Structure 1
């Protein structure tokens, strides 16, 4: 039984596929402003105590009943995808990448966010899962497409869940962000609502859906995207809202 404070993925997951996003409260040992279940930010100069983050991660494994230690990444807003075929080695350095994919049951994938999109993928036959971190820089450069490319399952046979992220009613961006998406896809302008001169509210989940469909996914197979990290301070960390912030984690695995 999963006793960790989490939001379960709301999607038609194949049998044996598990996914969720953690909440900021209900477990953990971190002090403010990382209170209390901070699972990341341990390498940042203004981050949490690394020993406390390690303790929080160990508690996650216990409370969630994970089949193995999660694969954690040093995320850099890039588009690199790492395939992993064995449980994480606790002595190994965390690799630099922004997405993970596996076809091995019992291997746990973990993505850290605090406003960026966490997106989980699963083959409809339950034989492969992936998890991606996509803030606007990675999303605009093709992070989600790169994740689908790294999977052995055709995009039309994949189902996805978009976890908690900065929502379209709260996430204001400037002309640089608007231009980078619209220059790639003129129709992406529909995902931006003007607020003031050269500023828009950006709908990151809608932008993600456009890109996933363009890459070959069936629109009805893309779920989630309705939970806003900025709007719910009691449940989620948000870098945009708070500045110094902890990280929630989105995990996915196939039952061994």
Structure 2
């Protein structure tokens, strides 16, 4: 069991929360404005998020584009294009939204810097994890990482061209793929560990959930398509 410092708080939201306002397949705690949900319902859910979990501030939301861009959450005053953020200030809430992609929580062992990344297959191979870790400006042995809920390998079929992209970047990605019934399946959790261990990070937890299979708990784009809501994954310092 890996423990984060006492002043570091992590949160992954459920798809259902008492008081949530979203309807239909977005039931009931969708937190994304960019899906087909009613905007007023989403804004009400974001207000509920703040109150229910007693957040120290509204999350520093980013506009995710499957990039490798990391931003300083303490320095942004409006929504910017990025897929990871970090903070060195108490009370700043870094956050990403997912519905199958892998949320990666990180902090140093002293509890003085936190960060989070949104890593789908594209962002992961393009370097979003590297971008976040480098932004934290800490030695690998001083970092702690938690892998939040994402789609599991046998629910995540990908094309052979994606495997080629991964192997052209790093041959160590070979074991992240399984070949069954003429199809490739990618293990995002394993791939993330390959990258993290490349930085000398050994304090890694999580990686045992499946957003696709656990429909009572999680939204899943692969399962529900454009009518899938999004969970929020947040990290901050108290």
Tell me, yes or no, if structure 1 residue 95 matches structure 2 residue 80: yes
Distance in 2, matches of 1:181 and 1:248, equals 27
Distance in 2, matches of 1:156 and 1:122, equals 11
Question: Aligned Cα RMSD in Å?
Answer: 1.4
Count of paired positions: 236
2:233 corresponding residue in structure 1: 250
SS at match of 1:153: coil
Q: C-alpha offsets along residues 52-80 of structure 1, whole Å, 9 cap, x if unaligned?
A: 11110100000001011111111000011
Counterpart selection for 2:219 from 221, 231, 237: 237
Could you list the runs of 5+ residues in structure 1 that have no partner in the other structure? 1-9
Q: C-alpha offsets along residues 156-179 of structure 1, whole Å, 9 cap, x if unaligned?
A: 210000000000121111112111
Q: What is the TM-score with the length of structure 2 in the denominator?
A: 0.95
- 1:21-170 to 2 correspondence within 5 Å? 21-27=12-18, 28-40=20-32, 42-44=33-35, 47-85=36-74, 93-170=78-155
Counterpart selection for 1:216 from 194, 200, 204: 200
SS at match of 1:216: coil
Q: C-alpha offsets along residues 119-171 of structure 1, whole Å, 9 cap, x if unaligned?
A: 00011000000010000000001100100011132222100000000001211
Q: Which has the higher helix share?
A: 2
Could you list the runs of 5+ residues in structure 2 that have no partner in the other structure? none
SS at match of 2:6: coil
Asked if 2 retains the 8 angstrom alpha-carbon contact of 1:128 and 1:153, the reply is no
Distance in 1, matches of 2:117 and 2:100, equals 13
